[in-house]
Structure 1
Amino acid sequence: MSRHGDKPRRNFLRHTLALAAATLLVPVSRPAAAKGNVIDVRSKGARGDGSGDDTAAIQAAIDALPASGGTVRIPAGNYMVDASRAINLRSNMRLEMAPDAQLTALPNALKRYHIIKIWDADNVQIVGGRIVGERDQHQAGEGEWGYGINITASTNVTVTGTHVSGCWGDGFLISAKGRGPGMEMASDITLQSVVATNNRRQGLSLGPCQRVRILDSTFSDTQGTKPQSGIDFEPMGQGQVSDVLVQGCTLTGNKGCGLEIHRNVTGLVIRQCTIRDNSGYGILAVDMDNLWVDANTIASNGMNGITLGGHTSDVKITGNTLSSNSTRYLHRALKTLVSGRGGGDSHKNDLRIDDSTSNVHVSGNTFSS
C-alpha cells in the first residue's frame, strides 16, 4: 500500500536511502584515554558496603585522572550515591564497573536528581555495572526528573552493558543544554546492550540530539507517572532529534507506549525490535517526518501496534509482523484521535494511519487476522 504519486515517491525513497546510510554511519565512540591511567575508587576511600556515602570518594577518583584521561574502576560492591551531587564524569574517561558493582541512590525528597551526569563532556565510556534509583524510598511525592544516567550537551559517549532501574524519573536521558541558535546538542551517542527497567517516568527520553544508536537493549516495565513509555522522543519546542537508529531492542511491559515519537523528530529507523505487551501503543508517531519501521515484531500491545498521527510524513512500514494488538482498544475514544487507513480495515488494530499524514508506504508486513 502506498499513499503518494511518482514524484513524491522518488523523493521519499531518496530520503529513506539517505536515512539508512546516515544511521549505519553513526560512529562508535573512540577508545577512552590511555589504559595506563587507571584509578580504583577504593584507593580514594570508597567502601561499597551499602551503608556509607561513597559519592566523594568516587568523584575524587574521577577528578584525579590527568588531563589526558584514563579509566576509573569500580569493583564489586554496593556504593551509595548522593544524587543531589551526582557522580560527574569528565572528558576522555572510561568508567569501568564490575558486573557486581552497583551505584545506589540514597533516599531523597528531590524533584530532580542524577546518579551519573555526563554534561559538556567528550569521549566518555561507561561499561557494565548497575545503577539503582530510590523510587521506593523517595521522601516526597512531587517531581518526575530523577535520572539514572543523564547525557546532556556531550559528544562521543558510549554506554555498554549497564543496567538502570528504580529511578524516580527516567533511566536514561539524552538531551541538549539551552535552546535556539546557542543550544549545545548531544551527538554521537551509543547505548548498547543496556537495560532500563522499573523506572518511574521513562526507560529512555531523548531531547535534542543527533546521530544516536540504541542497540540490542531492553526498556521494560516503566510505570509510575506519565508518559511511562519504553523510549520517548520528546524534543518538542527545545530543538530537533535527528538521525537515530533503534535496532535489536526489546520494549515490553511499559504502562505507556513501547516507543512514542513527537514533533521535531526527523530521520528515525526502528528495526528488528520486539515491541510487545505494552499498555499503550506499540509505536506512536505524531507530527514527525522521515521514519522507517522495518522488520519488527509488534504484538499484544494495549492500543494499536503502530499509529501514525498528525502531520507525520515520509514513512516506510516494511516487513513487520503485527499481531493481536489493541487488547484494550476503545474505538469511540480513538475514533476522534486517529480516524484513518491502515493495511486494510481488517488490520486497523495493528496499524492505523491518520488521514492528515503524507507519503506513507506500507509493504511486506504480516498482520493478524
Structure 2
Amino acid sequence: MTHHDEAARRAFLRRTLALSAATLLAPVSYRAAASNKVIDVRNKGARGNGNDDDTAAIQAAIDALPASGGTVHVPAGNYMVDASNAINLRSNVRLEMAPDAQLTAIPNALKRYHVIKVWDADNVQIVGGRIVGEREQHQDVQGEWGYGINITGSRNVTVTGTHISGCWGDGVLISAKGKGPGMEMASDITLQNVVCTNNRRQGMSLGPCQRVRILNCTFSDTEGTKPQSGIDLEPMGQGQVSDVLIQGCTMSGNKGCGVEVHRNVTGLVIRQCTIRDNSGYGILAVDMDNLWVDDNTIASNGMNGITLGGHTSDVKITGNTLSSNSTRYLHRALKAMVSGPRGGDSHQTDLRIDDSTSNVHVSGNTFAS
C-alpha cells in the first residue's frame, strides 16, 4: 500500500464516519472496579457438576460484592443455569471464567431466555469460559430469542475470549433499553476473541447501539431459523446503530449472510475479515449509509460477495479480495438476471451495486477466478 492510498483511506474515515481511525481501532478500556474483592462461586454453593442448578449460587456471588464491585471467579466445571432467571451482572462487576468453566442453559420451553444478562449496567467485563444454550433439548418449537449474552442499555462492557454455542436464538445481542426519546442506548461495547457458533437465529445481532468494536471474533455455522447470519445489524424502526467496527473477524458456514445490514445503520467499518462459505451474501447492506469495506477476503459465498441495495449511500469498497462467490447460481443465469456493478459487469457474481445506491467508490479490489 502506498502512502497516498493509506492517506486516502484515513481521509475517508474522517469524512464519512466523523471518527478518527485511532478511536475506531481501540477497544473500550474496562475501568477496574474500586473494590478488589474476589468471590469464588464455589464459596456460595455452586457445584459445577453438570446436574445441579447453580443459578442462585452464582447470583449470590455477584450480589455479595460491594456496591463498588469486584470479581466473581468461576473455576473449571459445568454450571447449570436457569435461563428463565439468567445470571444478572451489575455495574463494576468482572465475571471471570476459567477456560474449562461452562455455563449451560437448563432445557426449557421458553420463547425467550438469557444465560447472561447485562441490563442497564456500567463497566462490566466477561472473560473466558463457555456458554452453551439448550437448542438441542429445547422443549417447544416456538420463539427465536434464546440468548447466550444479552447486553441491553448498558455502557462500557467488554466480552473477551468467551465461546458461545447452541443458543435457541442469538449467541450475543446488543441493543437499547426502552423506545423513543427515553431510550437508553447500549454504548462503548467491545467483543474480542469471542466465538459464536452453532446458534439458531444469529451469531450476533445489533439493535440500537453506538460505538461498538468487534475484534478478532468468529461467527460460524448459524442455522435453524431466519435470518441465520453471522452478524446482523438490524435496528430497523427501533432506533439507530452507529459507529461500529468489525475487524479481523471470521464469518463462515452461516446459513444466511456473513454480515447483514439494514435500515438505520450509519458508520460501519468491516476491515481485514474473512467472510466465506456462507449460504447467503458475504456482505449485504440495504438502506444504510457510511460504510467502508476494506481489505477483506470474501469468497465462496452462496450469493454475491458484496451486495449494496436500496438507498445505501456513501460507501467505499477498497482493497478486498473477492472470489468464487454466487456458488448457489450458475454464472450465466446470474448474469442474465442482474445488472453488473457500476464500472463493469465482469465481476457481478462477487460485487453487485444496485442503481438505487449513491456515492459508491470502488478501488483496489482483486477479483480472483
Both proteins in one fold, TM over 0.5: yes
Bigger RCO of structures 1 and 2 (CA < 8 A, at least 6 apart)? 1
Q: What residue in structure 2 maps to residue 69 of structure 1?
A: 69
SS at match of 1:65: coil
Query: How far off is 1:29 after superposition?
Result: 2.8
* Residue identity opposite 2:88 in structure 1: N
Query: How far off is 1:19 after superposition?
Result: 4.2
Query: How far off is 1:80 after superposition?
Result: 0.1
Cα deviation, 1:193-238, whole Å, max 9, x if unaligned, reads: 0000000000000000000000000000000000000000000000
Query: How far off is 1:351 after superposition?
Result: 0.2
- Structure 1 segments unaligned to the other structure (5+ residues): 1-10
Cα deviation, 1:21-77, whole Å, max 9, x if unaligned, reads: 375266523233146200000000000000000000000000000001000000000
Query: How far off is 1:341 after superposition?
Result: 1.8
SS at match of 2:42: helix
Q: What residue in structure 1 maps to residue 292 of structure 2?
A: 292
Give yes or no for contact 2:14–2:20 (8 Å, CA) kept in 1: no
Q: What residue in structure 2 maps to residue 163 of structure 1?
A: 163
2:351 is equivalent to residue 351 of structure 1: yes
Identical aligned pairs, as a percentage? 86
SS at match of 1:42: helix
* Residue identity opposite 1:223 in structure 2: E
Give yes or no for contact 1:97–1:127 (8 Å, CA) kept in 2: yes
Q: How does 1:188-199 map to 2 (within 5 A)?
A: 188-199=188-199
User: Given the superposition, is the C-alpha separation of residues 26 and 209 from structure 1 closer, same or farther in structure 2, using an over 3 Å criterion?
Assistant: farther
> What is the alpha-carbon distance in structure 2 between the residues aligned to residue 189 and residue 333 of structure 1?
43
4+ aligned runs moved over 3 Å, structure 1: 11-14, 19-23, 330-340
Q: What residue in structure 1 maps to residue 183 of structure 2?
A: 183
User: Given the superposition, is the C-alpha separation of residues 155 and 337 from structure 1 closer, same or farther in structure 2, using an over 3 Å criterion?
Assistant: farther
Give yes or no for contact 1:23–1:245 (8 Å, CA) kept in 2: no
Give yes or no for contact 1:322–1:368 (8 Å, CA) kept in 2: yes
> What is the alpha-carbon distance in structure 1 between the residues aligned to residue 124 and residue 242 of structure 2?
21
> What is the alpha-carbon distance in structure 1 between the residues aligned to residue 337 and residue 44 of structure 2?
57
User: Given the superposition, is the C-alpha separation of residues 63 and 351 from structure 1 closer, same or farther in structure 2, using an over 3 Å criterion?
Assistant: same
* Residue identity opposite 2:50 in structure 1: G
Q: What residue in structure 1 maps to residue 266 of structure 2?
A: 266
Query: How far off is 1:179 after superposition?
Result: 1.7
2:264 is equivalent to residue 281 of structure 1: no
SS at match of 1:16: helix
Q: What residue in structure 2 maps to residue 364 of structure 1?
A: 364
**Count of matched residue positions in the alignment of Structure 1 and Structure 2:** 359
Query: How far off is 1:344 after superposition?
Result: 2.0
User: Given the superposition, is the C-alpha separation of residues 342 and 23 from structure 1 closer, same or farther in structure 2, using an over 3 Å criterion?
Assistant: farther
Range 59-68 or range 18-27, more displaced: 18-27
Q: What residue in structure 1 maps to residue 58 of structure 2?
A: 58
TM-score (norm 1): 0.93
Q: What residue in structure 2 maps to residue 329 of structure 1?
A: 329
2:142 is equivalent to residue 142 of structure 1: yes
Query: How far off is 1:330 after superposition?
Result: 6.8
> What is the alpha-carbon distance in structure 2 between the residues aligned to residue 270 and residue 85 of structure 1?
35
* Residue identity opposite 1:91 in structure 2: S
Q: What residue in structure 1 maps to residue 8 of structure 2?
A: none
Query: How far off is 1:17 after superposition?
Result: 6.3
Query: How far off is 1:320 after superposition?
Result: 0.1
2:303 is equivalent to residue 303 of structure 1: yes
Q: How does 1:107-256 map to 2 (within 5 A)?
A: 107-256=107-256
* Residue identity opposite 1:211 in structure 2: R
Q: What residue in structure 2 maps to residue 8 of structure 1?
A: none
Q: What residue in structure 1 maps to residue 84 of structure 2?
A: 84
Range 28-37 or range 80-89, more displaced: 28-37
SS at match of 2:230: strand
User: Given the superposition, is the C-alpha separation of residues 354 and 162 from structure 1 closer, same or farther in structure 2, using an over 3 Å criterion?
Assistant: same
> What is the alpha-carbon distance in structure 2 between the residues aligned to residue 344 and residue 154 of structure 1?
45
Query: How far off is 1:177 after superposition?
Result: 1.2
Q: What residue in structure 1 maps to residue 7 of structure 2?
A: none
Query: How far off is 1:339 after superposition?
Result: 4.2
User: Given the superposition, is the C-alpha separation of residues 83 and 336 from structure 1 closer, same or farther in structure 2, using an over 3 Å criterion?
Assistant: farther
> What is the alpha-carbon distance in structure 1 between the residues aligned to residue 228 and residue 360 of structure 2?
28
SS at match of 1:56: helix
> What is the alpha-carbon distance in structure 2 between the residues aligned to residue 288 and residue 335 of structure 1?
26
Range 19-28 or range 36-45, more displaced: 19-28
Query: How far off is 1:328 after superposition?
Result: 0.4
> What is the alpha-carbon distance in structure 1 between the residues aligned to residue 332 and residue 322 of structure 2?
22
Q: What residue in structure 2 maps to residue 93 of structure 1?
A: 93
> What is the alpha-carbon distance in structure 1 between the residues aligned to residue 225 and residue 301 of structure 2?
19
Give yes or no for contact 2:144–2:201 (8 Å, CA) kept in 1: yes
2:309 is equivalent to residue 318 of structure 1: no
SS at match of 1:237: helix
